[in-house]
Amino acid sequence: MIPDQIKSEIERSFDNQIIDIKPQSGGDISHAAILTFENQDALFLKWNSSAPEKMFKAEAKGLKLLNEADIDLAIPDPFLVGDDFLLMEVIEQGSSDSKSTFEFGVQLAKLHKTTADQFGLDHDNFIGRLPQSNKKHSGWTDFFVSKRIETQLKMGFDSGKFSAPDAKNLSAFTKNVEQIFPQELPALLHGDLWSGNYMFTTDGKASIYDPAVYFGHREMDIAMTRLFGGFAPEFYEGYNSEYPLTDGFEGRIELCNLYPILVHANLFGGGYIRRALGILKRFS
């Protein structure tokens, strides 16, 4: 199941034989398995033989950046990364209650208090399997329009999913966005925070993984939690107890989610294209 060259590289790096491989489900892009070694250590492996160049290396950097933040979330440590695989810490899934869900919100708010001088990041990465440009900007709206919306529209145009008239509202959209987002400091974001990218551990602590990190507007993360659901009311209560959202957030959710919807349009097409164009028109 695991390509021989990946298995050999892991065994050589750890000087330890793999004696058991348990396939794991749930990944949309990569294969996954828990590996048990001869010394009984266990690690979590993701691999994809057709992964974009540096995809797993960027993910490992993102996990390290999240681990460096002063937060009490379980984030897997990366141990070994190659062109087509990432080997990391195993985190055992458990269950949650209202207290742990509330605390998840508190800890995400603390993550968002981790700030930087500019929006963006010192390296590019990926959201899903699509490239994500993080070239730094001093202002959020410039970054959001040029590095999130324009790049995805161009990608869709180049692939034939969008036509030239579809982008005609971008100039008006850009002017309106400048008036819509509240001014806030850059926040360290998970970047792809939907229900498939978090769980609770056996000790009730929240764990986040599969990041697409950058320093952005914190409403991007919170809006994405609303895109597909899966986050309980206590999560938002905990978040607002630590770092209250600015008034008017409900009216900005669709604007924030234009980016992930464009990503889905480029990945999957269909109704996501119509939904993206509807949001673009609404805010133009």
**Residue 283 has what DSSP assignment?**
T
- For strand 42-47 and strand 31-37, is the pairing parallel, antiparallel, or unpaired? antiparallel
Q: Residue 240 corresponds to which tokens in the numbers above?
A: 């607002």
The C-alpha R_g of the chain, in whole angstroms, comes to 20
CB atoms within 10 A of CB 237: 14
Q: Which residues pair with 43 in a beta bridge?
A: 35, 89
d(CA 229, CA 196): 10
Q: Which of 84, 192, 210, 221 is catalytic?
A: 192
Question: CB-hemisphere CA count at 13 Å for 246?
Answer: 13
Partners of 37 in beta bridges: 18
What is the separation of C-alpha 180 from the centre of its chain, rounded to a whole number of angstroms?
A: 23
Longest dimension (CA), the chain: 61
Asked about 122 being catalytic, the answer comes back as no
**Coil, helix or strand at residue 135:** coil
Which active-site residues does the annotation give? 192
